[in-house]
Structure 1
Amino acid sequence: MTPMTEHRPQMSVEEFEELERHAPETVRLEFISGRVQVKAVTDGNHDQIIAWLQRLCMQHRPELWLYGDRGMKVEGYRKGRARPDGVLAPFGFPKGHGEWSEAEGVIMVVEVTSYDSDTHQRDRVDKPDAYAAAGIPVYLLIDRDDGTVTVFTHPEGGRYRQQVNKPFGAVVAIPDPVGISLDTEPLTEFSGK
């Protein structure tokens, strides 16, 4: 057995941003926990789930917008880069930003699981910690693998201190600062592969 070594990033944030700038449009790269991660390209059901959520957010909170695939600076000292499936923020949030936005002003990030081998580590382990460390108040995970919606809240010390998990079909309360309830019945048709 080898002794634990300190985790070293694969590259610097600047090197990652340069790599990401030159990646083909069919590849979506993220830099979380010091590692480059390839995010699966979305499928039609994934896109429909985001459209469903966007419509509900607009109905309940018209002053906000659910921005899709917005580059975000995450983790402690903003050393990570993520592309959440949705970023809920006041309308006009990214105006004047470059490719990567600071988390200030974001009230919720959304991820919809993809059917790839990295989903567990990326969406259920790395991203909650990265988003909490950035101080984003709510992380909403729509998990198609097990047919659940998980709401992570109360970021503190790089972790979300509360999480509520409900099956597709349940009503899911997303607390302030989002302050909406989602009837997730429409998601039941997207459960499983």
Structure 2
Amino acid sequence: MAVILSEMTIGEAADRLSEALPGHRVEVLKGSIVVTPPPDGPHQETVAELVYQFRQAGGRESGLKSLPGIGVWLGTGPDDYAEPDWAIVDADYKDALVTKNCYAANVFRLVLEVTSSNWGNDLVTKAETYAEARIPVYVVADRKHGEVLVLTDPVGDTYRTRSRYERGATVVLPSSVGVTLELPVDVLLDGDGD
């Protein structure tokens, strides 16, 4: 009996890993599979607080939605996609479905990542990839280094403007996001603090 082997695409391999690793986030960035462990409690507190702050600031009334874990089709490679921890998207984002529960990058106003054990991906690879996908604002709650980065003005695979905020400061999101949000750095790094 002959055995026929077929080569799997990166996207197919990522799908298999997602099935094999429940709770993990599997993404394809620049043609490479990236696996992130399940989030810890403070990470989830941060995301929950962001959703709450967005609502309090009138985000929905501004024609926007706040969505944790929504997939963004990056367009930087044939299978490239990411699942940011939190995003602000246009209210009509559902019309921009590309594939695999991922939406076109042009409906994203902001993506935010809270770093985990593989923090280098958020600081380097995702910064390059999100810039290349032309996502206007990328925020990194960098728990490893105790700071928040706000990256704006994407050109090529870099963001021209990089602002750093330390503990005790408040991050005011750029007006281009479409809603006025002032977020304490300590909450972004540690969760809601209760």
Fold equivalence (TM over 0.5): yes
Q: State the number of aligned residues.
A: 177
Matching of residues 41-190 of structure 1 within 5 Å: 41-60=38-57, 61-62=59-60, 63=62, 64-74=64-74, 76=76, 79-94=79-94, 97=97, 98=99, 99-114=101-116, 116=117, 118-120=118-120, 122-178=121-177, 179-187=180-188, 189=190
Q: CA RMSD in A?
A: 2.3
Q: Partner residue of 1:31?
A: 28
Q: Distance in 2 between matches of 1:77 and 1:189?
A: 34
User: What secondary structure does 2:12 align onto?
Assistant: helix
TM-score (norm 2): 0.80
Distance 2:30 2:189 in 1: 32
Q: Is the 8 A contact 1:169 1:187 kept in 2?
A: no
Structure with greater helix percent: 2
Gaps of 5+ in 2: 1-7
Moved more, 48-57 or 15-24: 15-24
Give the share of equivalent positions with the same residue, in percent: 29
Secondary structure in structure 2 of the residue aligned to 1:141: strand
Q: In structure 1, list runs of 5 or more residues that go unmatched.
A: 1-10
Q: Distance in 2 between matches of 1:21 and 1:113?
A: 20
Of 95-104 and 122-131, deviating more is: 95-104
Q: In 2, Cα distance between the equivalents of 1:188 and 1:46?
A: 8
